[in-house]
Structure 1
Amino acid sequence: MISKTTIDQVYETARLEEVIGDFVQLKKSGANFKGLSPFTDERSPSFMVSPVKQIWKDFSSGKGGNVIAFLMEHEHFTYPEAIKYVAKKYNIEVEETERTDEQKQEANERESMYLVSEFARNHFSEMLWDTELGKAIGLSYFRERGFTDETIKKFGLGYCLDQWDGFTTAALHKGYQLNYLDKTGLTIVKEDSQNPNNPRTFDRFKGRVMFPIHSMSGRVLGFGGRILKIDKKAAKYLNSPESDIYHKSKVLYGIFFAKQAIAKEDNCYLVEGYTDVIQFYQRGIENVVSSSGTALTPEQIRLINRLTKNITVLFDGDAAGLRASVRGIDLILEQGMNVKVCTFPEGEDPDSFAKNNELEEVQKYLADNAKDFIQFKANLLAEEAANDPIKRAETVRDIVNSIAKIPDPIKREIYIQECAHIMNVSEGVLFSTLAQINMKDATDTAKKAQQEQKAFDVVKNETTVEKVDVQYELERKIIEILLLYGNEEQKFEDLVLKENDAGDLILEPLSLDAKVYEKIYLDLQEDEIELANEHFRDIYYKLIEALNENDDFSINTFLSDLDQKMVSEISSILMEEEKYVLHNWERKDIYPKEKEAGVAQLVSETILTLRCFLIKKRMLALQSDTQESAEDHRETLEEIMNYLNLNKLLNKKLNRVLS
């Protein structure tokens, strides 16, 4: 268990915008930050971070919370893992008691797979540095590649001894279960028909140098292994199989080490292999990742999209590599990103070029040779087409097809103009071709929508328009006011119900100085009002208690003591109005009124509106009673009249006209 002292220190020290900034590219938006949702595929920002409140809200998925909630949602951390991650980032020493065997047993399956993977990384590193074979084979290979010892350690490179089950035996001896060694793909388990209770086991990566593959937060997801001996039957590179924690289509090698540099440089270099990434990083170009030898996927591109809109694809210039780059370019364009391509001189690749040149030379080469995708594709395809008119026409159509994938119409037009210039074709013809492609896409989309509409029509009549739950919204507003202004001292105009000389009921104003939470609590107590929503009721009592006990009440400290479900609820309440910031009203000369301008009025109007709503609800209930029975209802009718008069007075105070 992590001590309360450590947890409090983590919450007090952590800056939400800094932690989330490691995963999402954030841009200043007034007092807040905004960015693309890390949970959905979107092109317009709907993700808001409030440094003042230390909470975040993703309006596209509905998720929200504090710094720990973000890590639990985004990285699938457990609560203790999230606390430890933040503690490590801010160099906070974690105080905790040793977990018992029973607690270890209770760790969930994903966590067990992470633990096995982390053990494997440490084991392979140990074999590399501490065994004679590891030093002679693995370490010498990495040093021959030009990697320094510091780089080898930073990337966690290692070696799996060339033994059938050396790693598996070591893992089992340390208490790790064969079940998880199998599920992570580190061990191959073969059932033995002769002895079903004692299956045969083999190390998947035996005799290979190891490249751990990290998540964006630095957790080990899987491995890539390169064989060093010549074996025609064995693949040169071998990756971990798909598992609950490793999905190669959603992972980029090096993203953990590169994320901050990508956001800072506002550009990401995309290479092919592990050694390309490491060599570039060691040379001083840290904003580099690799798709690990697999074809680039939309999920991988969206990982980069969270950090920057700019990708520069680096290829070694061989025909297969260039063809792969062309396919990848279209995927990048579809995501609304800017893409450049840089090829290296014949016989060179990113690894060798970075190894053989100084940082300034590499940077200059990249700056001088990174071509806009349209120039690259046009030059590449034009060379293949040569003087063949038919191939040339196919080349032009191919380029326009790529341009059609760009969501931004202005960019499309600029690229059409550029293509016309390079390929010596009239802009009119290209725009006509683009229109045909767009029309076909629109037709296909319309057909799909039509099919979906038919399915919708089947259930359409069963749906009803949901009415606004007035009481829910008012109770939600009370919680919001308490969170934002609970400890503020305000001058309130209280209302006292009195009879005037004519015997009529009137509301007489009375000035009162009080804290916001005191005013709300006393008003609700006086009217014997209890919040109807169970979640709001729980939050309300916790808030009143915290505000009463702490003069220096802070939202961040308050949230640290709540469960994550309650934290998510509170973040939704606090960030609800922030979504309007996303629309940039100021640019349209619309300036919303700041709530701070009239906190006392906001409190009074909210409480009065709730009173009016409950009075009306009570009158309807009494009216229903009179209709259901034939008894004498004079007392009930008198009560209804009293409520009616009070309702008129309260609405008059709210400047509302009742029909």
Structure 2
Amino acid sequence: DQISLARRFAPRIIVSYDGDDAGKAAALRAISLCFENRAQIGVLVLPKGLDPDSYLKKHGLEKYQNLIKKSIPGLDFLIDSMLKKANIDIPEEKAEIARNIWNEIKKIPDSIVISDYIKKTSESLKIDETTLRSIIKEKQTDKEREEKGGFFQAEKRLLQILIENKETAPNVFPEMKKEDFQNLKSEPIFSALIELFKEGKESNIHELKQKIASSLVSYLTEILLEKEQESTIEEALDCLYTLRQLSLDNRAEKLKAEIARFERKG
């Protein structure tokens, strides 16, 4: 992967394009890929008809380096591109812009960056941040809604604590067992978190992305965006014990159904 390779040598990727439609489309694709790969990106607009090589030959390295300093942050370029396609004074079009920008932002495997980008987007679109978050929630796919419908509040809250509270989480993980989440919708996420803890890796979206389905990553990102009060070890353990009991109840119901099925067969 070119982006992963580039990140090894530079903290920020600069995409150059000459201002035509094809170049703009390529820059937007690059932004999308960088968001997915947790890479910082800037966009450099070159004079029409010039690529980086021809610009260097014509103007020299110093001018090109000065131009790089004026590169546009990827999010700003994305927002500007969206604004040029619609009329921000029309509420329906503004809402659609917000949804389209969210479709790109949500690819970022870092809830802190996502939250910051949502704030910047709300400022650029002149939308209250709370309103923007409401618009975002309306943009869930049917599959995401289905996933969401199967989660209990205790599941959501425990996930928030384990991923966001680095002080509380180490005291909770040793109490967790994979069977505590058996037959729950969140089972794959908690299983992955337990594995990460045992491997000594950080419990974050970036690491989880390698272990769970993309639909679960999308929903987990939304959970982490919800504002909650500060957590305690007691609250985390309460959530865990609630889920443990739910899992036991689910297994008991499943066993009863199996027994009834065999009895019907005689």
Q: TM-score, normalised by structure 2?
A: 0.50
With a CA cutoff of 8 Å and minimum separation of 6, indicate the structure with the bigger relative contact order.
2
Structure in which a larger fraction of residues adopt strand: 1
Larger radius of gyration: 1
Structure in which a larger fraction of residues adopt helix: 2
Q: TM-score, normalised by structure 1?
A: 0.22
